[in-house]
């Protein structure tokens, strides 16, 4: 098993702490006037998302987490789990709706995603940052609302509602930030 020594600590490394995988999201090197150097770290649990603040001495070491990523594709939602196909092994793997959370609101079937595995178990999915969806329903624009940034609700093909400018009509394709649901522009 690979080990990270304290001198190797940096943002982005994946380590094992108390038997669970963590990603180092922040690391500061502190050299006090007397005594050993310290590494103040902020670690995010990759299974639960909780943050830990831990300070390590210069001689400390952490085990490297066996985390790998793979290209995948979102297949369908079975009522409680999101099902994905791993493009490398062509296996279908699933992840619970609680773990995926709101990030899957604007993702439709067949969308490419990054799958993250720990000890060959799917632990996280990274969907694309921007998606292009078709507007299925929106009210017609009111006359005269063209001079200002007036928005109106619109339903997209995944069934979710977003705010779009008043000139968008049903049937148009729009570019959306998949994390926030924010309208980014018309899609060509």
Whether 34 and 59 share a structural domain: yes
Whether 59 and 96 share a structural domain: no
Whether 12 and 57 share a structural domain: yes
- Look at residue 99 in the predicted model and tell me its pLDDT: 80
Tokens of 39: 């590494």
Q: Is 24 exposed, middle or buried (0-12, 13-18, 19+ CB in 10 A)?
A: buried
Separation between Cα atoms, residue 141 and residue 74, nearest integer Å: 34
Domain that holds residue 94: 67-126
Question: Chunked in runs of 10, what are the mean pLDDT values of the chain (188 residues)?
Answer: 90 92 93 90 88 93 92 92 93 87 86 91 89 92 68 91 90 92 89
Whether 78 and 118 share a structural domain: yes
pTM reported for the whole predicted model: 0.75
Separation between Cα atoms, residue 156 and residue 163, nearest integer Å: 10
> Based on the structure, what is the number of domains in the chain?
3
| CATH number of the domain bearing residue 178 | 2.40.50.140
Helix (H) or strand (E) holding 71: strand 67-77
Separation between Cα atoms, residue 10 and residue 106, nearest integer Å: 33
């Amino acid at each position: 098993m690979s080990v990270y020594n304290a001198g190797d600590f940096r943002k982005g490394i994946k380590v094992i702490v108390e038997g669970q995988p963590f990603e180092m999201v922040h690391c500061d090197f502190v050299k006090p006037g007397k005594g050993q150097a310290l590494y103040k770290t902020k670690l995010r649990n990759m299974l639960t998302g909780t943050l830990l603040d831990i300070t390590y001495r210069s001689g400390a070491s952490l085990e490297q987490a066996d985390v790998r990523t793979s290209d995948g594709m979102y297949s369908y939602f079975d009522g409680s789990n999101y099902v994905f196909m791993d493009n490398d092994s062509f296996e279908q793997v699933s992840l619970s709706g609680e773990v995926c959370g709101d990030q899957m609101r604007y993702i439709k079937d067949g969308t490419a995603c990054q799958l993250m595995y720990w000890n060959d178990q799917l632990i996280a999915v990274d969907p694309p940052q921007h998606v292009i969806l078709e507007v299925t329903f929106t009210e017609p624009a009111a006359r005269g609302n063209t001079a200002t940034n007036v928005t109106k609700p619109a339903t997209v093909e995944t069934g979710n509602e977003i705010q779009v400018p008043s000139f968008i009509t049903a049937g148009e394709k729009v570019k959306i930030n998949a994390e926030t649901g924010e309208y980014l522009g018309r899609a060509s």
